[in-house]
Copies of this chain bind each other. A is one copy, B any other.
Amino acid sequence: MKLVFAVIHDEDGHKVMDELNKNGFSVTKLCSTGGFLRAGNTTLLTGVDEDKVNDVIAIIEKKSKSRKQVINSSMPPNGMNGMFMPYPVEVVVGGATVFVLDVERFEKV
């Protein structure tokens, strides 16, 4: 038995949990914050048989992997009309950090 800790972005938390549940993995969501960005993170905790660890990591990767996203930023106003000009900016979102720990003993009581 292994214990998988995955730190993922909040926006991906729901998708990752749903997909893990659909595949029969029971997941606990610990609320968390932090990482370098100080943005909202979600920590997922799932106990899993050794031979299923790859499956769990593949699901986490599929549902949270870092990708580029275009958001609208805005230029400071210039010229006489003083209007902000929206323009697209590419940012990286998502990504997960996964730690697999060995479980010495596992009990359901």
Cα distance A18–B23 in the bound complex, in angstroms: 36
**Binding site secondary structure of chain A:** strand
Contact among B2, B45, B103, B109 for A43, CB-based, below 8 A = B45
Q: Which residues of B contact A97 (CB under 8 A)?
A: 26, 47, 106-108
- Are A101 and B103 interface neighbours, CB within 8 A? yes
Given contacts A99-B47, A103-B101, contact A30 B30 (CB under 8 A): yes
In chain B, what residue has the closest Cβ to A57?
B107
Copies in the complex: 3
- Are A2 and B104 interface neighbours, CB within 8 A? yes
Instruction: Tell yes or no: A65 within 8 A of B by CB.
Output: yes
8 closest Cβ pairs, A-B complex: A61-B109, A100-B105, A29-B34, A98-B107, A28-B34, A30-B32, A29-B33, A28-B32
CB distance from A50 to the nearest CB of B (A): 9
CB distance from A98 to the nearest CB of B (A): 4
